[in-house]
C-alpha cells in the first residue's frame, strides 16, 4: 500500500509539472502541493504573529502586495534593495511609508526552514496580504500560486505606475486599466483603505488650498469631518498621522464605503468614487451589503495577483527577498 501511495504521489507531481508547462503563465492553487505542503500554514502562523505584535502590519502587508503588482507585475520587485537608492522602495510613493520589508524577510526565513529554495517572495507577498486581511476581519480567498521573482526594480517605473491619492475617477480607471484591471476592480480594491493610516500630507491640500485657492476647502468633504481633520492636521504638519482610515479602527470591513458615501473619505481619490455612476452604485451597495463587498474584494485581489506574473523558466526563487541571487543587492 505504501508503494502504491508513493506511486500516486509521483504521478500527481508529474501531472502538476506538466500542467505548469502546458499552461505557462497560469497560476495554480496546488502549485506547492508536493514541494511545500505546509506553506500556507507556515505563512498564516507567521502573519498572525506579526499582526498580533503590530496591528498596523495588516495594512502594511496588503499595501506591499498591491505596490508590488502595479510595477512590473507581481514579481517581488518591490522588495529589492538598491545600493544606489534607485529601486521601487526608494520611490516617493513608497519611501518612508511602505511597511513590512523586515516582516516579509522573517516570513521567508520560516518558509525556507520548511521548504528551502522552493517558494518565491512574490508568492509569499500574495499569501501574506490575504492572511493579514483575514486576521483583521476580512473574508478568506484562495490564492493561486507559482509566481517567480523578478530581477529588476525601478524607482522611475514605480513613480509612473502607482496610483496617486490625488487622482480623478477617470485617471484611476486609466491607471488600473494599464495593468488589466477594470473600473469595478478599482472601486472594490479601494476598499482596502478600510485599514491603515494616512499622513496629513494627503489631506492638507483638501483642507487649506483646494484647487490651488489659499484657504479653500474641498466642497466634497463633509463640513463637520473637515473641521475635525483641521484639528488633526494643521497646515504646516504634513508628516502627522491623521489616524485610522475609517471609523472601525483596524477592522477589515465595509465601513470605508459608509464613510465615502457620507463624504468622509480621506483621499481625493476616495471622493472621486462618487463622481461616476458606476462608482456611486458600488459605494452604495458595498456600504449596504458587507458580505458582497468582502467577496468582490477577494475576487479583485486574485485578479490583481495575476498581473504580469513570471512563471516557469522566467524569473527565479530568491534565497532572500531583498536581493537577487547572483550578485546581492540590485
- Active-site positions read 67
Q: Which residue is associated with the grid cell 463624504?
A: 263
308 assigned ligand-binding residue: no
d(CA 200, CA 233): 6
180 assigned ligand-binding residue: no
CB atoms within 10 A of CB 146: 23
193 assigned ligand-binding residue: yes
68 assigned ligand-binding residue: yes
88 assigned ligand-binding residue: yes
Using DSSP, state whether 310 is helix, strand or coil: strand
Residue 121 in contact with residue 104, Cβ under 8 Å?
yes
H/E run at residue 304: helix 290-304
Cα Rg of the chain, angstroms: 21
77 assigned ligand-binding residue: yes
Q: Give the CA angle between residues 174, 198, 289 to the nearest 5°.
A: 65
Q: Which residue is associated with the grid cell 529588476?
A: 152
73 assigned ligand-binding residue: yes
Buried b (16+ CB within 10 A) or exposed e, 45-61: ebbeebbeeebbbbbbb
Binding-site residue set for substrate: 163
Binding-site residue set: 68, 71, 73, 75, 77, 88, 163, 193-194, 246, 253
Binding-site residue set for Ca(2+): 68, 71, 73, 75, 77, 88, 194, 246, 253
Binding-site residue set for heme b: 193
Amino acid at each position: 500500500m505504501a508503494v502504491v501511495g508513493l506511486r500516486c504521489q509521483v504521478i500527481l507531481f508529474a501531472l502538476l509539472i506538466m500542467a505548469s508547462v502546458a499552461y505557462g503563465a497560469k497560476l495554480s492553487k496546488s502549485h506547492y502541493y508536493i514541494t511545500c505542503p505546509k506553506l500556507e500554514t507556515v505563512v498564516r502562523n507567521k502573519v498572525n504573529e506579526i499582526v498580533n505584535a503590530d496591528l498596523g502590519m495588516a495594512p502594511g502587508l496588503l499595501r506591499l502586495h498591491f505596490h508590488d503588482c502595479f510595477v512590473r507585475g507581481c514579481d517581488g520587485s518591490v522588495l529589492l534593495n538598491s545600493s544606489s537608492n534607485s529601486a521601487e522602495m526608494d520611490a516617493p510613493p513608497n519611501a518612508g511609508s511602505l511597511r513590512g520589508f523586515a516582516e516579509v524577510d522573517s516570513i521567508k526565513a520560516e518558509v525556507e526552514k520548511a521548504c528551502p529554495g522552493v517558494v518565491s517572495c512574490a508568492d509569499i507577498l500574495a499569501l501574506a496580504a490575504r492572511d493579514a486581511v483575514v486576521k483583521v476581519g476580512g473574508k478568506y480567498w484562495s490564492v493561486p500560486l507559482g509566481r517567480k521573482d523578478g530581477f529588476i526594480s525601478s524607482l522611475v517605473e514605480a513613480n509612473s505606475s502607482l496610483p496617486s491619492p490625488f487622482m480623478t475617477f477617470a485617471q484611476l480607471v486609466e491607471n488600473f486599466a494599464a495593468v488589466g484591471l477594470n473600473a469595478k476592480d478599482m472601486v472594490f480594491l479601494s476598499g482596502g483603505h478600510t485599514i491603515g493610516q494616512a499622513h496629513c500630507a494627503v489631506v492638507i491640500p483638501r483642507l487649506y488650498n483646494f484647487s490651488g485657492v489659499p484657504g479653500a476647502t474641498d466642497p466634497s468633504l463633509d463640513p463637520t469631518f473637515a473641521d475635525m481633520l483641521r484639528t488633526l492636521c494643521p497646515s504646516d504638519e504634513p508628516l502627522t498621522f491623521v489616524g485610522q482610515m475609517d471609523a472601525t479602527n483596524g477592522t477589515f470591513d465595509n465601513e470605508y464605503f459608509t464613510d465615502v458615501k457620507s463624504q468622509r473619505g480621506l483621499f481625493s481619490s476616495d471622493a472621486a468614487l462618487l463622481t461616476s455612476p458606476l462608482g456611486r452604485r458600488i459605494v452604495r451597495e458595498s456600504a449596504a451589503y458587507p458580505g458582497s463587498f468582502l467577496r468582490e474584494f477577494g475576487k479583485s485581489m486574485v485578479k490583481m495577483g495575476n498581473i504580469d506574473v513570471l512563471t516557469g523558466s522566467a524569473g527565479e526563487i530568491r534565497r532572500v527577498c531583498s536581493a537577487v541571487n547572483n550578485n546581492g543587492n540590485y
